[in-house]
Structure formats: structure tokens, C-alpha cells
Amino acid sequence: MNSEVKVEVKRKHVNKFKGGYPLIFKEAIMNIDDLTEEGTIITLVDERNQFIGRGYYGKQNKGYGWVLTHKENEQLDAHFFEKKIRTALNKRKHFFTDSETTAFRVFNGEGDGIGGLTVDYFDGYYVISWYSEGIYTFNEEVIQSLKTLTDYKAIYEKKRFDTKGTSIDDDDFVCGERGEFPIIVKENGINFAIYLDEGAMVGVFLDQREVRKAIRDSYAKGKNVLNTFSYTGAFSVAAELGGAEKTTSVDLANRSLSKTIEQFSVNGIDYEAQDIIVMDVFNYFKYAVKKNLSFDLVILDPPSFARSKKYTFSAAKDYKNLLKEAIAITEKDGVIVASTNCSTFGIEKFKGFIETAFKERNEKYTILEEFSLPDDFRTAKEFQEGNYLKVVFIKKGKGQNRRR
């Protein structure tokens, strides 16, 4: 049974929480030192001891926990979690009937009413991600809800918090029939090899589904494509299936080579006809300039933060310079797919990076279309940071703006 603590919200933040803001942050709480044990249920009150909301204490990079209800009589019990998960599953009903897409998100944190928790679906396998020790204290309620509400093959979990030195890979399997990996899932008819037993990275980022479809259907045909920070090459596969003349995938991680070969292979593509390069992306840009290489379509999807031996990359500080490097090797009338999952800035600031980069390169550009999270990645309008994905298709050179 989780213990309970009453915390007072500072006056200047009361209206923010009453308006539905879900993230409990340190600066908003008067008696923050009373929070000592993660998983503690928090009752938020104002200076007159009036109820504001109820949530839990769980530290993650975003804050100190999440508000889960504004109803004073609603308890955070098994019934609460089952109700939230049932609602989320019902909102994704149409995904379960689409034979061309068998991997998607079924529960998206605060967007579905429980911050710090996500659940993904991979062709009958469910994967729970716990983002703090605090939310993990409710694991029995969440797992039982999934058992009750779904026809699962197996349930796996990923602990995305510090497990005090114990391996997070040892206990990924929760219940059901252990899968033999990879399993092959579909996304708009594209095959992806998925591993649920190799830690947090399973093989594909589901939030980019619509972007991959756009690349395949509208941008790749006949093009020479460069995919940077390519991970397992999912964008490259989409481009090749869309008729790309050739793809080049670049990633620093050694595993990217075998993983990308595998993703090409499960789609019947001759990987030997593609370039798969294990190299620091920043070094590759320099190499491409030196060798006079240029591309018709350049995909930039860096992590929010990355460190290699020679470079440290922060999207908030360095995206503009990354974009300038890409502009230099993009053909005239070529397209750059600029993507970021950094939640610390919004789309307008991102477009500011784009404008400055082209201006400093003395180049014209046209925004063709924009993407944010797909509809299975539900977000809360009161928490804009949760709508983290920003993808802009940019044509190098002047033309008619066409926006999605």
C-alpha cells in the first residue's frame, strides 16, 4: 500500500495545476522535503488547504511526479489504472484491425492520464516502460489491467530509471509466452525486426511512422538518400521501398551495421547495394564535403543529446550548426527532413533554427510540410512539452510553400 503525503502548492503555481498541468515540479511545492519515498501518493492543496489534485512522487528528468486526478474522492487504486488503460485501448481500436500496421503505442503517459508510463504493442506483445521508481510501485495494478483487458501473447517491461546497479535486461519478461526474437511487425506494410529482450532500444521508433510513410510515398523515388543518426536504418528502408536510387545510412554505433542489414533483409532488399557506414555523423559530413558527395534527400534525426569522443551534441544548442552541415551537401532543390524529439523547445523555435541555418549558409528554402506525433501518441493540451516531436520537410531553394 502506497503511503500518502499532503503537499502545499505555492500560490503562484496554483492556477497552473487547477488548469490541468500534470507535471509536479520542485519549484511549485512548499514542503518538497516531505517527499522521501518514491511511489508516495501526493495530495496537492493550496494555502487554504483546498484540494487541487492527487498524484504520485516519482523522480525523472522532467520533474518530481505526476498529477493523475483532480477528483477529490478518486483513489489511485487498481480500478483507477484499469479504467485509464481500458479508455486508452478503446481509443486505439482502429489500429488493432489494421493488418498493414501491427506496431503502435497503446498508452502514452500523461496524454492518456498517467505520466511516467507508456505501453507499446508489437503484434500481440505488450511492452511497458516505467520512467521512474515511483510509477513502478504501481506495477501490479498496471500489469493486472493489461492481463484483464488484452489478448496478449506476452508482456515485457523496460525500467527506464536508475536500478541501482542491477541489470535492467535481466527481468524484461513479465508473463505469457516468451517470444523468439526478432519478431517481424508491419508498419504501413513495411517489415521491421523487433527485439524485446535487448534493453530499451527495440529496433524502431514508433513515433516516426507517418514520417517514414511520407518519405516512402512522396519523397524517395529516384533520389540519392542520406540517413544520418540512422540507428537500425528504418528511414533508409522506407526510402528504398519508395524507389530511392540509393541509400546511405550513417551511425556511430557499431550495432547499427548488423541491425540495418537485418532491416533491409526482412524487406527483401539487397543491402549490399546500399551504403551502411559506421562513423561519427559530424566526421561523415566533413568526409562528404571533401569527396564532393551530395544528396537529393537528407534525413536528420539526432538524439536530443549525444556524446562521442570528439563531439558533444545538444539539440537545443547545436541543431542549427548540424543543419548547416546538411545544407552544404544537399543538392539544389533537394529536401532535408529535419527532425527532433527534444522537448525543451517548441516548433517555432525549431523553425527559427532552420531559418538561421539557411541564412548563415546564404541559401533560400521552402517548408514543404510538417509532422508532429501520430494519433496513437496522445498528448495533453495542458502539457505542451509532451508533444515533443517536430519534423519539418525543407526544400533547398525557392518554391511554393505547401504545409500539412
- Closest listed residue to residue 293, CA positions, set 337, 338, 250: 250
Contacts of 236 (CB under 8 A, 6+ apart): 225, 227, 230, 247, 248, 249, 260, 263, 264, 274
pLDDT of residue 43: 98
Q: CA–CA distance from 343 to each of 121, 163, 349, 380 (Å)?
A: 24, 24, 11, 14
Please tell me whether residues 38 and 182 are part of one structural domain. no
Span 339-365, pLDDT tens digits: 999 999 999 999 999 999 999 999 999
Record the pTM: 0.95
Please tell me whether residues 102 and 51 are part of one structural domain. no
Residue 388 counted as domain residue: yes
Residues β-bridged to residue 121: 104, 126
Please tell me whether residues 214 and 357 are part of one structural domain. yes
Please tell me whether residues 229 and 139 are part of one structural domain. no
Residue 402 counted as domain residue: no
Please tell me whether residues 328 and 285 are part of one structural domain. yes
Picking from 122, 157, 188, the residue at the C-terminal end of a domain is 188
Please tell me whether residues 271 and 249 are part of one structural domain. yes
pLDDT band at 73, cuts 50/70/90? Answer: very high
CATH number of the domain where residue 44 is located:
2.30.130.10
Please tell me whether residues 356 and 231 are part of one structural domain. yes
Q: CA–CA distance from 291 to each of 252, 282, 285, 333 (Å)?
A: 20, 15, 10, 21
Residue 198 counted as domain residue: no
267's torsion region: left (phi>0), alpha (psi -120 to 50) or beta?
alpha
Q: 385: burial class by Cβ within 10 Å (0-12, 13-18, 19+)? A: middle
- Closest listed residue to residue 338, CA positions, set 356, 317, 328, 353: 353
CA–CA separation, 251 vs 259, rounded Å?
11
CA–CA separation, 82 vs 79, rounded Å?
5
| Rounded average pLDDT over 263-269 | 98
Please tell me whether residues 43 and 114 are part of one structural domain. no
pLDDT of residue 307: 83
Q: What is the DSSP letter of 180?
A: P
pLDDT of residue 165: 52
| pLDDT value at 403 more than 80 | no
Span 222-237, pLDDT tens digits: 999 999 999 999 999 9
Span 171-202, pLDDT tens digits: 699 999 999 999 999 999 999 999 999 988 99
Residue 403 counted as domain residue: no
Domain range for 317: 205-396
Per-range mean pLDDT, top range of 162-171, 181-190, 393-402? 181-190
Please tell me whether residues 62 and 132 are part of one structural domain. no
Residue 200 counted as domain residue: no
Span 196-250, pLDDT tens digits: 999 889 999 999 999 999 999 999 999 999 999 999 999 999 999 999 999 999 9
pLDDT band at 163, cuts 50/70/90? Answer: confident
pLDDT of residue 170: 53
Residue 133 counted as domain residue: yes
pLDDT of residue 309: 78
pLDDT of residue 306: 84
Span 284-319, pLDDT tens digits: 999 999 999 999 999 999 999 988 778 889 999 999
Please tell me whether residues 247 and 366 are part of one structural domain. yes
Longest dimension (CA), the chain: 69
CATH number of the domain where residue 92 is located:
3.30.750.80
Q: Are 254 and 226 in contact (CB under 8 A)?
A: no
Residue 176 counted as domain residue: yes
Name the phi and psi angles at 61, rounded to 5. Answer: -60, -20
Q: Are 354 and 323 in contact (CB under 8 A)?
A: yes
Picking from 69, 87, 102, the residue at the C-terminal end of a domain is 69
pLDDT band at 255, cuts 50/70/90? Answer: very high
Span 52-69, pLDDT tens digits: 999 999 999 889 999 999
Span 120-158, pLDDT tens digits: 999 999 999 999 999 999 999 999 999 999 999 999 999
Residues β-bridged to residue 246: 224
| pLDDT value at 404 more than 70 | no
Residue 46 counted as domain residue: yes
Total count of domains within the chain: 3
CA–CA separation, 246 vs 274, rounded Å?
6
Please tell me whether residues 99 and 15 are part of one structural domain. no
Picking from 160, 188, 216, the residue at the C-terminal end of a domain is 188
Q: Are 366 and 327 in contact (CB under 8 A)?
A: no
Please tell me whether residues 365 and 216 are part of one structural domain. yes
In 168-274, DSSP assigns E strands to 173-176, 183-187, 190-194, 224-228, 246-251
Q: Is the dihedral of CA 6, 10, 15, 19 positive or negative?
A: negative
Span 100-112, pLDDT tens digits: 999 999 999 999 9
